[in-house]
């Protein structure tokens, strides 16, 4: 059982970092009002405003901000400002023992998937796949349900996802239990062949992505299939796949066709349609906790992520 971080209390201080690409500063500023409404204070990483091309500062600077926030006893949790690209560039230098010895809430998604996987494998902590400050919270499109999902950080609560939230489709039926792992499909594929390769054995594999055409999703799923990630898994949770339109007019399978090809005869529960990913609302989930996926009733039940 992974280490669950302590719950937040009103008055706690949140560390805000940019582990990947530079966040939109205006959107980041707007998001602070939401943190105030939650009763939280905040502290920015030293390099939150830095830019180096498509990166939020140098690898050393982003690595330092991340480690500093885990090492700082005054910081109760860490919320990423945004994703983009770049967290994998320094993950192999990340002090994962430091994180294990100082477990605290770590919240983000998209490019942050690489860090989630590393912390799950080597720090043995529960982390959170949820909407980030500049890329989600500070925007006009931020949904009420997305906002409510932050309450799981203040009180241990079981999460229940049913079709009351969004229409769900069962590609393969059955009921299974397992620890949730995964995140952004592109980042999971990028981890293959490294020490940070996702471990799906007996687990519920969650996938989502944005801006990938059906043939690209097909290729990534095929790589995971041939690596045994689907045969090892207890079940598959398919989150939001947005902006999948074809860049050029040509013959194509639909994304639904692709998922059917890979999962209809897999012999274990596979359900798609979860609003988890680059979408609003964004249903935030803890990674590394036990969950139940019911492919017959089309429900997902997740145990609490905090102590």
Sort residue 21 into left (φ over 0), alpha (ψ -120 to 50) or beta. Answer: beta
Do 117 and 191 contact (CB within 8 A), yes or no?
A: yes
Collapsing DSSP states into helix, strand and coil, what is residue 115?
A: helix
Q: Distance (Å, rounded) from C-alpha 220 to C-alpha 206?
A: 14
Residues paired with residue 297 on neighbouring β-strands, in sequence order? none
Q: Tell me if residue 197 is catalytic.
A: no
Catalytic option among 27, 110, 123, 191: 110
Q: Is 208 a catalytic residue?
A: yes
State the Cα–Cα distance between residues 183 and 177, nearest whole angstrom: 18
- Around Cβ 151, how many Cβ atoms within 10 Å? 12
Residue with tokens 């719950």: 7
Active-site annotation holder among 208, 212, 213, 282: 208
Q: How many residues does the chain have?
A: 307
Phi then psi for residue 7, to 5 deg, are -65, 160
Rounded to 10 deg, the angle between the 255-263 and 214-226 helix axes is 20
243 catalytic per annotation: no
How far is CA 16 from its chain centroid? 16
Sequence-distant (≥ 6) Cβ neighbours of residue 233 within 8 angstroms: 178, 200, 201, 202, 203, 204, 205, 268
Point out the catalytic residue in the list 47, 116, 129, 278. 278
Pick from 70, 53, 63: which is nearest to 18 by CA?
63
State both tokens at 22: 């530079």
Name every residue whose Cβ is closer than 8 Å to that of residue 191 and which is 6 or more positions away in sequence. 88, 114, 117, 197, 198
Catalytic residues: 110, 208, 278
């Amino acid at each position: 059982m992974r280490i669950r971080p302590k719950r937040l209390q009103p008055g706690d201080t949140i560390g805000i970092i940019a582990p990947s690409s530079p966040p939109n500063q205006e959107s980041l500023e707007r998001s602070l009002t939401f943190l105030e409404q939650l009763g939280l204070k905040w502290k920015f990483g030293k390099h939150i405003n830095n830019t180096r091309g498509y990166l939020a500062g140098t690898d050393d600077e982003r690595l330092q901000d991340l480690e500093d926030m885990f090492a700082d006893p005054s910081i109760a949790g860490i919320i990423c400002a945004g994703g983009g690209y770049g967290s994998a560039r320094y993950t192999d230098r990340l002090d994962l023992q430091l994180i294990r010895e100082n477990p605290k809430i770590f919240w983000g998604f998209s490019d942050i998937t690489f860090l989630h996987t590393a912390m799950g494998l080597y720090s043995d902590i529960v982390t959170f796949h949820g909407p980030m400050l500049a890329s989600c919270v500070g925007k006009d499109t931020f949904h009420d349900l997305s906002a409510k999902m932050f309450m799981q950080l203040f009180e241990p609560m079981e999460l229940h996802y049913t079709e009351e939230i969004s229409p769900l489709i069962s590609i393969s039926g059955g009921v299974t239990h397992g620890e949730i792992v995964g995140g952004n499909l592109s980042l999971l594929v990028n981890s293959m062949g490294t020490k940070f390769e996702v471990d799906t054995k007996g687990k519920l594999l969650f996938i989502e992505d944005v801006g990938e055409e059906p043939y690209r999703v097909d290729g990534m799923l095929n790589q995971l299939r041939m690596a045994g990630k689907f045969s090892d898994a207890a079940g598959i949770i398919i989150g939001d796949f947005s902006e999948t339109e074809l860049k050029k007019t040509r013959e194509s399978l639909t994304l639904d066709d692709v998922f059917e090809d890979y999962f209809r005869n897999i012999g274990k529960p596979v359900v798609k349609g979860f609003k988890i990913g680059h979408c609003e609302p964004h249903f935030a989930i803890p990674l590394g906790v036990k969950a139940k996926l019911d492919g017959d009733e089309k429900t997902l039940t997740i145990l609490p992520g905090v102590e």
